[in-house]
Amino acid sequence: MELGEFSERRVGKGVKELLRERGFWTASVVVFLGMAIGFPFYEIVIPLEKGSFLKFYQTAVESQIMLFLVPVAAVLSPGASYVRESSSGFLKLYISRTSRIGYTWKKTLCIYAGGFLPFFLAGFFGLLLCFFFLYPLELEGKIPWEGIRGAMETLLRISFVGGIFAELSGIFAAAFRNYYMAYGLPFVAYYMMVILKERYLPKLYALYPGEWILCKENWGQDGTGIWVFFLVFSAASLCIHSLLLYWRVQEI
């Protein structure tokens, strides 16, 4: 019981630290602005057809500007925080007040959340705006629940991609202890996969980050394969980051 309460306090403290990060809110604003730029305002003709607010929302989330911003927004939160904390001497003081494994566990989870949550919060806020301002303009008043489910699945997919690339930022930060590597290499990795798929391996859609979000290809029955892919990829990135970060803090 005491261990559970301790872990709960540690998670709560990590969430508070994350919400105080300027990069977290910058990333959320960048994601929301990307959705706003990709929103098809020119297609709004009153009265709207049934389900139009969801169609407009999906267009905004799946726009090219959003696909471009994914590796940018994902690394703006606490991905490189290890570099800042280790170079300032804060980490040595922090480790003296907690365990190395505790720091590693909290840091890796917070970095993943720092990539996941900006996309989810900004996307959910955008969905609410579409519902409140566009849904009343539609001809029929019945809520398309199946369409809302599809929109939420798209939002979850782009959020998972954000979390994974935030973890890559944390991995590069721990490996190289350099801001430029932490912020730049996830972006390079993202577009290397895009180039490989589009120019050299067009049938290997599992390499394409855009497909992870759009989910247009065959991912198994009912598309369950994409969720298994996200869970495996997320677990692998968390494990690699944890091991690398723990090895680094052992040096302190």
| Tens digit of each residue's pLDDT (9 = 90 or more) over 32-75 | 999 999 999 998 888 888 889 999 999 999 999 999 999 999 99
Structural contact between residues 78 and 21, judged by C-beta atoms closer than 8 angstroms:
yes
Task: Write out pLDDT tens, residues 62-120.
Answer: 999 999 999 999 998 877 888 888 877 777 777 777 778 888 888 899 999 999 999 99
Q: Per mean pLDDT, which range of 11-25, 68-82, 95-109, 144-158 is the poorest?
A: 11-25
CA distance 172 to 79: 9
Up-side HSE of residue 245: CA atoms within 13 Å toward CB?
A: 34
Whole-prediction pTM value?
Answer: 0.90
In the predicted model, what is the mean pLDDT of residues 162-171? Answer: 94
Closest CA to 28 of 162, 128, 133: 162
Average pLDDT of the chain is 87
Which residues have a Cβ under 8 Å from the Cβ of 11 and sit 6 or more positions away? 106, 109
Q: Which residue has the tokens 């019945």?
A: 142
Nearest Cα residue to 246 out of 163, 179, 175: 175
Output the furthest CA–CA distance in the chain (Å, rounded): 65
Residue 31, both tokens? 């994601």
